[in-house]
Structure formats: C-alpha cells, structure tokens
Amino acid sequence: MKPADKPASTGFDPARLIENHQAGVWRYLRALGCDPALADDLTQETFLHVLRQPFEDYNVAATASYLRRSALNIYITLQRRNGRVVAVEDVEKFDQTWTAWAGSDSGDNVVEALRDCLKLLTERARLALEMRFRDDRSRSEIATALEITEHGAKNLMQRAKQQLRACIDEKLNR
C-alpha cells in the first residue's frame, strides 16, 4: 500500500485539541438535546470538520467557541435534514449562558459547582430533581412520591433550579 503524503507542518497538535475540548463539545451537544449516541457522532463530526479547515489556536476560549459554533451548525444541519426547525435566536441565548458557565473549561467547573450547590437544597427538592433527572420520572409520579400536587412538584423543582442557577453563578464568578 502506498503511504499517504504527510500534511504540512503548522505546529498544531490535533490530538491535544481533541483531548482538551471533546468533553465541552459533547456536553454542549447534550444540552442542545442530543442523546448520548448522537452527541458522540456529532462530536466526532465537529472535530473532523474543524480539522479539515485552516485553523489557528489563539486561545482556549476562542477555540472552544469555534468548536461550539461548528457543532451547532452541524446539529442544525442534521435537524433540518430530518425536517426539524431550530429557533436560532433561542440557540444564541443558549450559547450566551453556556459561555458564561462553561466557556473555557469544558464544563468541569460547572459539574463541581453543581455538586456543591445540590448540598444546599432541601432533602425534598434534591429528591425531586433526582427522580426527575436520574430516574426520568414524570411530574405526576414525583408528585405522588412526595405526596404533593403536580403543581407543587413543578414549583418545587422550579425553585430548586432557580436556587441552583444562582448558586452556580456565584461559585463560578467568585
């Protein structure tokens, strides 16, 4: 087999690029609504797309932002191909929040902050979120388990999430 020609050198290390940013891209895609398998696929697609283009690594935040934009475009293209429409304005707001929370560290700090913040919640609130996000239980099931109304369960989770948002903001901005 004839060996392939080597690409020209630009001092760029794709392995490190992938290693440093893959978690951030993957989490970003998950937050956009991809299931884990699709997030795997699109993360791979994102890096392949970026590696095919001329690319300069200015700094971590800029690269992360570039990768997210590429991931988003690939995601939108896939959705459109599947006959779905993505509200771009919503995505822009989404991206702003993401940048504020996990713009340059792939989201690891958010995970840590979230673990700490969860400890500040009441037992019932934490339990409600656990049932919702760990067990995928419906709102009515959560309400039944906690012996409250469905509306009460909704309010409980909303308040808990507001508390978590505020707590994470505080920890990340400190």
Partner 1 sequence: MTDRDDPILDAFLREVFGGPKPPNLSGRILQSWAAQQVQAPPTEGSLPTNPVWQQAASFSEPQAPPVQVPTVVPPPVEVVPRTIAAAGRSVEIRRKNSNSAFPSIIAVSGLALLMAGASVWVRGWTSNPSAKNHVAQHGEKKNGTGTSSPVKPRVTPDVVAKSNDGPKKNNVVAIDKGTSPNKVAVTPAPNKLPDDRRDFNSNGKSPNSANSNSVRPDFLAANSQKNLPTSSESEIVAFINNTLRTAWKEKGVMPSADATDAEWCRRTFLRLIGRIPKVEELNRFVEDRSAGKRQALVDQLVSGETYAEEYAANWASIWSNILIGRNGGASDEAQQSRGGLLQYLRQAFHQNKPYNQLVYELISATGSNKPGERDYNGAVNFLLANQNDKGTLATTRVSRVFLGSQLHCAQCHAHPTNDWNQEQFWQLNAFFRQMQVDRDKKTGAARLVNRDFTGEGSGKSDGEIYFEQQDGKVRVAYPVFIDGTSIPHSGSVEEVNRRQELAKLVAQSDNLSQAVVNRVWAHFLGFGFTKPIDDISAHNAPSHPVLLERLSKEFAGHGYDLKQLMKWMTMSEAFGLSSKMSGQNRVDMPDAGTLPLFSHYYSRQMQAEELFQSLEMLANARKNGTTAGEREKAKQAFLGKLTKNNANDEGAEEHIFQSIPRSLFMVNGEITQRALLPNHESMLGKVAESNLSPEAKIEHLFLAALSRKPTKRELTSAKAVLATAGESSIAGFQDLWWVLLNSNEFILDH
Of the candidates 63, 98, 103, 143, which one interacts with partner 1 according to CB under 8 A? 98
- Name which position in 65, 76, 127, 139 contacts partner 1 (CB under 8 A): 139
Closest approach of Cβ 174 to partner 1, in Å? 18
The answer to whether 123 contacts partner 1 (rule: CB under 8 A) is no
State yes or no: residue 1 binds partner 1 (CB under 8 A). Answer: yes
Check residue 15 for interaction with partner 1 (CB under 8 A).
yes
- Rounded to an integer, what distance in angstroms lies between the CA atom of residue 63 and that of residue 55? 9
Question: Which position among 64, 110, 121, 125 is part of the footprint of partner 1 (CB under 8 A)?
Answer: 110
Q: In this structure, are residues 74 and 42 in contact, taking their beta carbons and an 8 Å threshold?
A: yes
Applying CB under 8 A, among 67, 72, 143, 164 the residue interacting with partner 1 is 164
Q: Does 26 bind partner 1 (CB under 8 A)?
A: yes
User: Cβ of residue 22: shortest distance to partner 1, in angstroms?
Assistant: 5
Who contacts 150 (Cβ-Cβ below 8 Å, separation ≥6)?
Answer: 139, 140, 143
Dihedral angle computed from the Cα positions of residues 56, 16, 34 and 64, in that order, rounded to the nearest 10 degrees: -40
User: According to the binding rule CB under 8 A, does residue 145 interact with partner 1?
Assistant: no
| Binder among 115, 119, 147, 173 for partner 1 (CB under 8 A) | 115
How many residues sit in the footprint of partner 1 (CB under 8 A)? 80
**Is 128 within 8 Å of 153 (Cβ atoms)?**
yes
Distance CA 135, CA 132 (A): 6
Cα separation, 17 vs 46, in Å, equals: 12
Closest C-alpha to 130, from 156, 104, 151: 156
Q: Which of residues 38-67 bind partner 1 (CB under 8 A)?
A: 38, 40-45, 47-48, 51-55
Q: Round to whole Å and give the CA distance between 129 and 113.
A: 16
